[in-house]
Amino acid sequence: MIQEALNLYRHFQGAGVKNSIAASNLTIACALLRKEKSSQATLTVSEVAERLNVCEKTVRKLLKAGDMSHTWVGNQIRIPLDDFEQYLKRSPKRSISHHHLGLA
């Protein structure tokens, strides 16, 4: 899908947007590019919780502690996939310490 959107964008960009239909198609192509890029590059709190085999509350504690960066998209938190992978690399095998669980 991303390749189709990119081709559409290039087509209308090269032709010069001359009418409202072309402008609409260009806007849709740009939106598809942004959506595809953002959906591949981030995880939700639920997805991170599932991958770590913990509850969402624990993931939120990790985020609050600064262990992973995050951004807000509307009213939802998104965690960059790269940041999540870095967290896994630098974390011990259990990945969640007693400190993060509030047991320390």
Mean pLDDT, rounded, for 66-73: 90
User: The pTM is what?
Assistant: 0.53
Average pLDDT over residues 61-85: 92
- Enclosing domain of residue 12: 2-39
**Is 24 in the same domain as 57?**
no
Q: Specify whether 9 is located in the same domain as 48.
A: no
10 shares its domain with 48: no
Asked whether residue 30 falls in the same domain as residue 47, the answer is no
Determine the average pLDDT of the residues in 48-74.
92
When pLDDT is cut at 50, 70 and 90, the band that residue 98 belongs to is: very low
Mean predicted confidence (pLDDT) in 83-103: 67
Considering the domain architecture, whether residues 94 and 52 belong to the same structural domain is answered as yes
Q: How far apart are CA 55 and CA 13, in angstroms?
A: 46
Residues 46 and 84 in one domain: yes
**Total structural domains in the chain?**
2
CATH at residue 89: 1.10.1660
- What is the DSSP secondary-structure string of 11-48? HHHHH---SHHHHHHHHHHHHHHHHHHHHHHEEEHHHH
DSSP string, 43-95: EEHHHHHHHHTS-HHHHHHHHHTTSS--EEETTEEEEEHHHHHHHHHHS-TT-
Residues 33 and 51 in one domain: no
Q: Would you say residue 91 has pLDDT above 90?
A: no
At 19, the pLDDT band (50, 70, 90 cuts) reads low
Q: Are the CB atoms for 63 and 77 separated by under 8 Å?
A: yes
Q: First CA to last CA across the chain, in angstroms? A: 47
Same domain, 33 and 56: no
